[in-house]
Structure 1
Amino acid sequence: MVSVCTTCKGLQKHLQALDTGIPDTHSAQRLHWVNTTLPGLRRSTHGGCRACATLLQGILLHHDRFAGEQEDHIRISAESFIGPGAPSDRDAQNHLSVEVRWKDPGGECGNGDEHEHDDGYPDLKLEFFTDGDRQSPFSAIGRGRHISENALHDSGLSTARHMINDCLSRHSRCRRAKPSTLPRRVLDVLLEDGTRGVRLHESTFDYDEDRYEFGEYLTLSHCWGTGRNVLKTTAKSLHSNRKHIPWSTLPKTFQDAVSLTRALGFRWLWIDSLCIVQDDAEEKLEASTHMDDIFANSFLTIAATSAADTTDGLFLPKTQPFKIQATDSAGSLHRIYVREQPPHYTFKASFNEGAHMNDWELPLNPSAEANRHTPLLRRAWAYAERLISPRVLHFTKSEMILECREGYQCECGRIEDSTFDPRATDCVKQDYAKLIAEQEARSPVTNGINNRIDSVASQLAATTLADDDQGMSRTRDDAINLWSYIITEYSSRNLTLDADRLVAIIGVAKTLSDTLRSGYIAGQWTSNLLGLLWHPDDTSPCRRPRNLSQNVPSWSWASIEGSPIYFDNSTAMDLACTASFPSERGRTRAWSPISGDALELTASMATDVAFRVDGENEYSLVKDGISVEFRPDISPPQGQDSLASGDFLVCVLVSMTFRSSIIGLVLKQSKSNAQTYRRVGRFECYECLRDSTDQEPEDAEALFGHWFPEVEDMTQLDDGPQRTFIVV
């Protein structure tokens, strides 16, 4: 009688019982095979188990990933899947999934391994599979999903078309409601002169219809890199580019994008460096303010997601699966492939997808490894382009990924199937598209920013405009929360030029303006001024932007570079603080997207306090012997934000939060004009401390009695004395 391996059951399905649970016809069911350590797998291999030997060989081919780790700390598990597709289904997942873990979820890798993974997700996840319909000596190892080497090859092109067609056929939000119009300039990639080159096409403008000519086109999203290798249209080259741009002058990424556009059957392609005259500052700004039109009307955005420079190309070499040989009971040889499961990079993270977005950990923190492999996803411009585009075809080092307004598709088929990748998917693009679709369903879009604004002065603690339509009110709440999430993600990404800080996000703001029905000044929605309570996640790397031609006021989140920006969009109690924009008076829907002026802040609870340095990057605000911790926007304070112990500041209390804290703004009087103030930080008090005593700290609410003893009734704040500050 032949004994069955107790470690892996020989990887034979007839020897392993199906994991019990509620049947789900829409997802695969699991068969669990292995739960052991690396030394345990070695012992089973030495004991003669051919299946364990196959697993061990495939794992050791990736030994560089866990070199230096203690082998008895390396745990190995394996599982395969049954269904939901039939065995002949091209999308059926019949591979064996092997997870290798060596990192303590609560600690660090023992050897400082740079391969970082989310908590709960394995440090290494491998797929064992056969090629096509070839037989395997182990029934737990079935065929794998093909990943194309190059999207221009037959299989790659077929996969790309399949994903696009699937999006068009199933997703109503991704379909175009009306014919698209071309941007001002596009590349004509189908020249009839026998050359492989392209030319710059000037679109015909119809003044009666106020639009350019109709046409379907693609867009390219790419990293410029250092900028030295980027082919550009300038005033000098504009005329010649209209006639012909030789193929040899196009960098590799542009060549690949042109080839893909042709292969998909399109004539027009928009590439920023070639379709915008790069030495014309006025045209560049004008084009930047219409990025929403350019990318929203594009049929498809081609994303060079893993290319750090335009010379890299779209179709980067993919790591090929390892090939190992396994023998069956008759001694016949079979080929088994082993590869690391495509990581899905920064599209996946460990957060509760079902939770409200305010409870998410922001920004979506990718690993350093993902950042290296997907440099485009770290760019702020590309982030805005991703949101606005109806669909984006990402070219990564592992596979093609299609991101659209209703979800994701990938070549490996795992990205949105929790069976294979339980991490939640980044869904901000889908939430953004859903919000816009809901607004368009309520009322047709009409000239965005020129619509009516309900009020020019708003309660700082009010989260929505007054509106009898509760559904619309909830939509505006969602829009503000989504905007805050977007800015947190956007501000965590890189910009080459400080001057683009507000420019690159204009397109997103324009698409939300009809939902919010609000003025928009320097990144701030005037109808929801809780946005003024932004704060940097980490103040130590922060600085004010340099060499700005526009006026970015200190009250704007865009006035701080170097850290993701967070927001407070809800409050438990309003402390009677109001704000208004003088520049908005007499105007409807003020629209000043890249600059701003003064803000008038009127407060019932504002007081002078002393700034104190308590230690390295430790600060507090003190009044009448009562101190509270304070974190300035820039730490240590410098430049226009410079502060020294004993300097007097103004602390303006705004509201109490559901965190049982008091929040507000901290202002510094301008040296050049005593009538104006600059923001130097956001104030949040959880507890206050009486200096030079051993008393326990008191909770935040005690601060009212210490700093504002004259206020006897908090419900009467609106009727008491107020102070007004002009913040620039």
Structure 2
Amino acid sequence: MNPRLGDDLFRDTTGMTTLESHLLGGFHSQSNLNQPDHSASKSTWKRFGTHHVSASTFLASVARRCVVCESIRAAVSKLSDDFLATGRLFNSFTTYGVYYFPAWGTCWLVFHLGLSEEGMELNTDHSILEFLCRPPEYFSAHIEVNSLVPAHTEGSDSTENLDVAMAWIQICDETHDCLRQQSDGSGFSPTRLLDVGSTEDSVVKLVTSPPAHERYVTLSYCWGTGTSVRLLSHKIEGFQRGIHVESLPRTLQEAFRVSRGLGIKYIWIDALCIVQDSESDWNHESSKMAEIYRNSYCNIAATSSKDCHGGLIKARSPDHLGTILVTTGWEGCENGSLGLIDRFILRHNIEKAPLNARGWVLQERHLSPRTLHFADTRLFWECYKTTACETWPAGVARGCQLALLKRNLGHPAPRDALYLYWRQLLRSYTATRLTMEEDKLPAISGLARKLAALLSDKYVVGLWGASLLTELLWHAATRPGHRPSSYLGPTWSWVSTNGQVDTNIHWTSIDTVHTALARVVNYQIEYATDDVFGRVRSATLRLSGRIYPATFLHPMQPSADKPLYGSITFDDCQINAHCLATSYTLDVALGSVGSVHTYCLPLLVDIEGVRLIRGLLLQPTGNNRGEYSRIGTFTCFPNSSEAGTAVFNEEQYHLDPTLVDEEDHIVLI
């Protein structure tokens, strides 16, 4: 594939720009590395400078089709040209930084936007675009299947060029064991599939009870609003006779053509394979999501489309498929050239794409052994062994890849790695959107079912039984929202909140040495169906521990999207004397600001590190003695490493018996 040029990055009509001048005396010069201000003892070498002084020169460069400037413009696509031209400048319009890591032999070129407006600071430590820099020989060594990539033209048909996809599938079939690792060998087949027929067929047909061992693909896509074509009870027979392809949204039409192009006769699409007006069918089929996706031959993902009418690959320029090649005067650079690779190519094209903002898609992506991403600028491939794209068909360059969490499902993994995997998934999942909030547990039930089998652990409304005390310490990662409008789960589970949540990553290991300050007595869960990974009607958790009255000041909502936190004062001054500080984080915003009376339930002491004490913030329900709802978490910092459990020594402090139930237990609902 021909590299694309980004000469404007380094040259203008007068010769070398400021950026070029800095780079020419930069990290490729060993003498500069040895100068006092860039000593070899440092782990990194840095240099900063101006890219474009003003918006006018930047936008002119975009108009000249400089691919670097086009990439920067795309990264700030939400900002209008008018804002870019009139926004207040800190210094220069765009600036850059060069970071060289000798130990890794890695160089990054980072761009920043120097604009601000009231309530929005853009000139921060957060970059708008980052490139890895590599000499040309790096590309020739890593693009091993370059000949497989067909020529692309602007506005190319979304399904006419599947050669590279077929090559990825062939390589995975012949050299990987992705499908075998996921398949249980039972010959599973979904309840219903769509027969896509041949390229000449104008209809697709719904097939019930398809033959076992038959290959099929799945489709991940955003429904959007106004999805008119769905499988309803009275339409089953008509769909079996045939559905006119032209009556379906563009994304579905193109998915049929991709399936045919890959030589796969059947496809599974949720809207057309689940009876949408049958609660029993929906519950039955949603409980089989894990099997449906993990037995899929390949998952087709409409990654860049925000609804079912967006299609698969969009019109795109061939300039954005190749490697950016810039001209330099660096000594030792072959032909005076250097290649630039978008360091966050996967984040920009996949992680932040419209599809992956949809809650259901997380498990679809992770359970599918192989996914073909139809992204905004190119085609991507993801299996348990490889992440690739049309620019890098043999695999995305090291340094650009995100950690492939799904590999934990494709390979034998230690228990700790699987628990960590779940907690990382949880942070991603709770940041997504669901059309129906009651789908919060079902939309991740397939992954939960898979992990439960791998861990031999019990799933407890989004938490894991073997490490339940630690699991209870999840906390809000962003500004607290509110409780869902309908009951989704108990307050002690993250299911009961609408915001993104996080866990204490330091405490991810169930084998980490803790001192428990409470004990799980039992829990009772009433499920909405016979699926223990799905919706619940009620759940209570009974704990044995000690509860301590305290007060905190509820601040006004912060302007930024950050967790709501502050400090706590215990009613017992002896506890305060043992603590340097006690902080809290709220799950949901409370109705009023000012002083709030609460109760603290210590759960664990980390005796390996700084002996932090963590626990839950509770409020009485007022319904039954000793019954509480959770409102947040707290962290106590003892005033010495020896304090540890002495902060909450049950022999030292009197416990009010009215704070627990008749069996001296604390009941959480």
Q: Is the shorter-chain TM-score for this pair beyond 0.5, marking a shared fold?
A: yes
Give 1:262's aligned residue: 260
- Residue number among 600, 613, 624 corresponding to 1:651 in the alignment: 600
CA deviation after TM superposition for structure 1 residue 297, in Å: 0.6
CA deviation after TM superposition for structure 1 residue 683, in Å: 1.8
Give 1:247's aligned amino acid: V
Counterpart-to-counterpart distance in 1, 2:596 and 2:98 = 61
- Residue number among 430, 440, 461 corresponding to 2:407 in the alignment: 430
Counterpart-to-counterpart distance in 2, 1:404 and 1:597 = 37
Give 1:201's aligned residue: 207
Structure 2 SS opposite 1:650: strand
- Residue number among 400, 407, 426 corresponding to 1:487 in the alignment: 426
Greater shift after overlay, 700-709 or 302-311? Answer: 700-709
- Residue number among 269, 274, 277 corresponding to 1:276 in the alignment: 274
Give 1:381's aligned amino acid: W
Counterpart-to-counterpart distance in 2, 1:144 and 1:584 = 54
1:682 corresponds to 2:624: no
Given that 1:117 and 1:123 are in contact with CA atoms closer than 8 Å, whether structure 2 keeps it comes out as no
- Residue number among 475, 497, 500 corresponding to 1:560 in the alignment: 497
Give 2:220's aligned residue: 221
1:502 corresponds to 2:502: no
- After superposition, where does 1:405-554 map in structure 2 within 5 Å? 405-413=384-392, 416-418=395-397, 422-434=399-411, 437=412, 475-529=414-468, 530-538=470-478, 540-548=479-487, 552-554=489-491
Q: Deviations over 1:50-71 (max 9, x none)?
A: xx9xx99666777857966756
Greater shift after overlay, 514-523 or 168-177? Answer: 168-177
Going from structure 1 to structure 2, the CA distance change for 1:314 and 1:546 (only over 3 Å counts) comes to same
Counterpart-to-counterpart distance in 1, 2:238 and 2:65 = 61
CA deviation after TM superposition for structure 1 residue 126, in Å: 10
What fraction of aligned residue pairs are identical, expressed as a percent?
Answer: 24
Counterpart-to-counterpart distance in 1, 2:242 and 2:491 = 47
CA deviation after TM superposition for structure 1 residue 123, in Å: 4.9
Counterpart-to-counterpart distance in 2, 1:187 and 1:78 = 52
- After superposition, where does 1:369-380 map in structure 2 within 5 Å? 374-380=353-359
Counterpart-to-counterpart distance in 2, 1:117 and 1:643 = 31
Going from structure 1 to structure 2, the CA distance change for 1:75 and 1:238 (only over 3 Å counts) comes to same
CA deviation after TM superposition for structure 1 residue 165, in Å: 1.3
Structure 2 SS opposite 1:682: strand
Give 1:655's aligned amino acid: L
Given that 1:407 and 1:430 are in contact with CA atoms closer than 8 Å, whether structure 2 keeps it comes out as no
Structure 2 SS opposite 1:533: coil
Given that 1:187 and 1:199 are in contact with CA atoms closer than 8 Å, whether structure 2 keeps it comes out as yes
Given that 1:520 and 1:590 are in contact with CA atoms closer than 8 Å, whether structure 2 keeps it comes out as no
Structure 2 SS opposite 1:201: strand
CA deviation after TM superposition for structure 1 residue 279, in Å: 0.8
CA deviation after TM superposition for structure 1 residue 624, in Å: 2.2
Q: Deviations over 1:115-135 (max 9, x none)?
A: 999967845789999xxx9xx
| Alignment size in residue pairs | 552
Structure 2 SS opposite 1:684: strand
- Residue number among 280, 285, 289 corresponding to 1:287 in the alignment: 285
Given that 2:363 and 2:447 are in contact with CA atoms closer than 8 Å, whether structure 1 keeps it comes out as yes
1:664 corresponds to 2:664: no
Given that 1:503 and 1:594 are in contact with CA atoms closer than 8 Å, whether structure 2 keeps it comes out as yes
Structure 1 SS opposite 2:665: strand
1:240 corresponds to 2:238: yes
CA deviation after TM superposition for structure 1 residue 552, in Å: 1.1
- Residue number among 651, 656, 666 corresponding to 1:725 in the alignment: 666
Structure 1 SS opposite 2:207: strand
Give 1:634's aligned amino acid: D
Given that 2:458 and 2:464 are in contact with CA atoms closer than 8 Å, whether structure 1 keeps it comes out as yes
CA deviation after TM superposition for structure 1 residue 39, in Å: 8.0
TM-score (norm 1): 0.65
Going from structure 1 to structure 2, the CA distance change for 1:562 and 1:231 (only over 3 Å counts) comes to same
**Which runs of no fewer than 5 residues in structure 2 stay unpaired?**
1-14, 21-25, 31-46, 54-60, 77-83, 101-106, 141-145, 327-337, 558-565, 654-662
Give 1:637's aligned residue: 590
Structure with the larger RCO, 1 or 2 (CA within 8 Å, 6+ apart): 2
Structure 1 SS opposite 2:315: coil
Counterpart-to-counterpart distance in 2, 1:660 and 1:271 = 51
Given that 1:179 and 1:215 are in contact with CA atoms closer than 8 Å, whether structure 2 keeps it comes out as no
Structure 2 SS opposite 1:156: coil
Going from structure 1 to structure 2, the CA distance change for 1:58 and 1:412 (only over 3 Å counts) comes to closer
Going from structure 1 to structure 2, the CA distance change for 1:525 and 1:705 (only over 3 Å counts) comes to closer
Counterpart-to-counterpart distance in 1, 2:288 and 2:549 = 45
Given that 2:489 and 2:496 are in contact with CA atoms closer than 8 Å, whether structure 1 keeps it comes out as yes
- Residue number among 181, 184, 189 corresponding to 1:182 in the alignment: 189
Give 2:535's aligned residue: 594
CA deviation after TM superposition for structure 1 residue 609, in Å: 0.6
Q: Deviations over 1:362-402 (max 9, x none)?
A: xxxx7xx977x611111221011001001000001111111
Structure 1 SS opposite 2:371: strand
Counterpart-to-counterpart distance in 1, 2:665 and 2:69 = 69
1:101 corresponds to 2:100: no
Given that 1:77 and 1:98 are in contact with CA atoms closer than 8 Å, whether structure 2 keeps it comes out as yes
Structure 2 SS opposite 1:425: coil
Counterpart-to-counterpart distance in 2, 1:635 and 1:277 = 36
Going from structure 1 to structure 2, the CA distance change for 1:268 and 1:121 (only over 3 Å counts) comes to same
CA deviation after TM superposition for structure 1 residue 725, in Å: 1.2
Counterpart-to-counterpart distance in 1, 2:125 and 2:150 = 26
TM-score (norm 2): 0.70
Counterpart-to-counterpart distance in 2, 1:159 and 1:393 = 11
**Considering only aligned residues, what root-mean-square deviation do their CA atoms show, in Å?**
4.8
Going from structure 1 to structure 2, the CA distance change for 1:494 and 1:426 (only over 3 Å counts) comes to farther
Give 1:355's aligned residue: none
- After superposition, where does 1:141-156 map in structure 2 within 5 Å? 148=152, 156=161
- After superposition, where does 1:227-376 map in structure 2 within 5 Å? 228-321=226-319, 345=345, 347-348=346-347, 374-376=353-355
Give 1:173's aligned residue: 178
**Which runs of no fewer than 5 residues in structure 1 stay unpaired?**
11-15, 21-33, 41-51, 80-96, 134-141, 205-211, 327-337, 349-365, 439-474, 688-697, 713-721
